[in-house]
Amino acid sequence: MNSRKNHNKKLMLPVLIFLVGCLVLTVVLYHSYRSNYKQVRNVTALNATTYAERLQNDMNRGVAITDTLEEIAISENGKIDNFQKVARDLMADFIQSIQIAPDGVVTDIYPEAGNEAGKIDLMHDESRGEICRYGRDKNIVTMQGPFDLKQGGQGIAIRNPVYLEGADGSPVFWGFTIVIIRVPEIFTESIQALTKFGYDYSLTKTVSPLSDDTEIVSSSGNIMKNPITFEFEFCGSLFDFEIMPADGWSHGWNVFPQLFLGICVILLLTGLTVVILVIERHRDTLKKMAITDPLTGLLNRKGFDEQLKKVMQGDLHIHCVGIQMDIDDFKFINDMYGHVVGDAALKSLAQDMQSYFNDNSIICRNGGDEFSAILVDTTEEEARKKIEQFTLQPRHITYNGGEHPFYISLGYAEYPKDCEDVSELIRCADMALYAVKLHGKNNCSPYRGAYKMQHRSQLGFALQDVSKNLPGAFLIYIADPENDNILFANRELIEFAGCRDFDDFLDYTDHRFRNLVHPDERDSVETSIWKQIDAKTSGNNDYVRFHFAKKDGTYLPVLDHGRIVENRYYGNVFYVLIMDCALVESYYDNKTGLETVPE
């Protein structure tokens, strides 16, 4: 009896193992499906972001043509001579026509044949007037369409409002530069690449910035179920970009091999370990993809922050050097040589960073041409030489068989010397990078405590180019009697002061405008300036004479024309032109009526 009971129990054991195995297999298969589903959606989401950027880059080719015409119109004071020749040179296979519309009236179209009906008054046209007036009043590039073209197919109108400088210095509306792009032809390369990788897609947009109605711009034509959606705005219109695998969300997942593996797991318990390892490997791959920049192989910003957090959890008092850098004139590289060459420059810089800073460092690409690095367990003094060598080493890109140099600018800061929280380290380095840009690019600089923590503006980088061509000595300093810190001086002022360069000039003046004035006149000059500013007799301007203190100990009488303005980084600042009195008076017999500080 007992022997039979034991025998029956043993017979139940294989049944129990089979039932448990079936249950485990069911769970494993479901988990595998869900894991594959998530993986496919994550990869699809990454592709949606990537191809949405490519679609925007495609449309930017049309916008770039209107920008070129705008630059010509501005440089020629509203005239575009030889429009047909210029437009012919700018023509591409995705463009239906190129137009200009002075005062909102289309006067010239290329090609003319077949497009004569396009010469209309845009501002008063029933279907175009409202959006054209909106673009003019807001001074923004607008898109309208898609709409049917008389030549067949569909197009989208890109209209760029152009403003000239009026006699009083205020902007005056000139008209529009216009490109009609053909869709989906403009997206041909991007769409072919997308479909080649096995994706269905749909791209829709609002017909204009003033309408919520949407139109399909391009589509694979297949019905999509629960697609990944990426929304973006371009030229005032909202775009929805939807994609999904053409063979569904079970893409790459086949139940039969896993079912066979599951049966093997039931028979051989060791097979279960293999399945677990495979699943874990999938998880690790997805995690690595989430924190890695796909172009350069460096960490992305998310991975960078995670690594930095781990380092600082180990020792909050460890010294670190934060680095922020970018490629000088990277947009020019992309525009001149193409994005493939631009990507090559990014990869080259990433490889250099890994070569120079790989030991005990955290390196990432923030996006675009911006890179960050944290050198762990080192100080600014220890890292300075290596940073300088890295910044100034020659770099080249290859285009059409020839080598072309490119350069970088770099700012760096030290924790805890320059900031109390390591999270502020990159922001300090970014402000140092901005200072490099302001002083001519292609260099590196440590962070200085006088910098204010603000987001830098790319427009500020043009100051060096503009100021060096001003017809006179020019400087900028903080409008504060107690802290008249000099922020900038052009080359002519530096030479007028008898200094070698800007750093020598700052050392000589101790960074203060006050030290450029004769000691006996400093108080009276300052009083005169603020008296004029407070009285607003000349608006925000002030005019004053004083003796300019040169580095060699001599003094020259000068005219000072200053203007106080509000600056987003430093608050109120003075923009000042300095003119040699002797030079001015040699050309003008009459006195100017400027207020003169007694000599």
Helix 380-392 and helix 339-357: axis angle, to 10°?
A: 150
Q: What is the pLDDT of residue 455?
A: 42
Alpha-carbon distance 584 to 313, whole Å? 64
| Alpha helices in 108-187, H assignment, sequence order | 129-138
Q: What is the pLDDT of residue 271?
A: 52
The contacts of residue 292 (CB under 8 Å, 6+ apart) are 298, 299, 300, 303
Mind listing the pLDDT tens digit for each residue in 396-445?
Answer: 998 888 888 999 999 999 998 888 888 788 899 999 998 888 877 889 99
DSSP state, residue 299:
B
**How many other C-beta atoms lie within 10 A of the C-beta of residue 433?**
27
Please report, as a single letter, which amino acid is at residue 127: S
pLDDT grade for 79, boundaries at 50, 70 and 90: confident
- CA-atom Rg of the chain in angstroms: 33
pLDDT grade for 28, boundaries at 50, 70 and 90: confident
Query: What does 256-287 look like in DSSP terms, one character per residue?
Result: HHHHHHHHHHHH-THHHHHHHHHHHHHHHHHH
- How many DSSP H helices and E strands does the chain contain? 16, 21
- Give which of 151, 139, 144, 138 is closest to 125, Cα–Cα: 144
pLDDT greater than 80 at residue 121: yes
3-state secondary structure string across 159-173: EEEEEEECCCCCEEE
Q: What is the pLDDT of residue 56?
A: 93
pLDDT greater than 90 at residue 14: no
pLDDT greater than 60 at residue 568: no
Alpha-carbon distance 327 to 406, whole Å? 7
In contact, 345 and 330? CB cutoff 8 Å: yes
How many residues belong to the chain?
599
Residue tagged 């279907």 (tokens): 127
The contacts of residue 168 (CB under 8 Å, 6+ apart) are none
3-state secondary structure string across 27-84: HHHHHHHHHHHHHHHHHHHHHHHHHHHHHHHHHHHHHHHHHHHHHHHHHCCCCCCCHH
DSSP lists the bridge partners of residue 541 as: 563
Average pLDDT, the chain: 85
Sign of the four-CA dihedral 475, 480, 484, 486 = negative
Mind listing the pLDDT tens digit for each residue in 349-401?
Answer: 999 999 888 778 999 998 889 999 999 989 999 999 999 999 999 999 988 88
Alpha-carbon distance 415 to 421, whole Å? 8
Alpha-carbon distance 278 to 272, whole Å? 10
Please report, as a single letter, which amino acid is at residue 469: N
Range with the lowest mean pLDDT among 196-205, 336-345, 461-470? 461-470
Alpha-carbon distance 361 to 383, whole Å? 12
Range with the lowest mean pLDDT among 93-102, 170-179, 248-257? 248-257
Mind listing the pLDDT tens digit for each residue in 521-542?
Answer: 999 999 999 998 888 888 889 9
pLDDT grade for 446, boundaries at 50, 70 and 90: very high
The contacts of residue 135 (CB under 8 Å, 6+ apart) are 141, 142, 159, 161, 176, 236
Q: What percent of the chain has pLDDT over 70?
A: 89
Mind listing the pLDDT tens digit for each residue in 305-320?
Answer: 888 888 777 666 788 9
Domains and their CATH numbers in the chain: 83-186 (3.30.450.20), 191-245 (no CATH), 301-456 (3.30.70.270), 468-587 (3.30.450.20)
Q: What is the pLDDT of residue 167?
A: 85
Q: What percent of the chain has pLDDT over 90?
A: 52
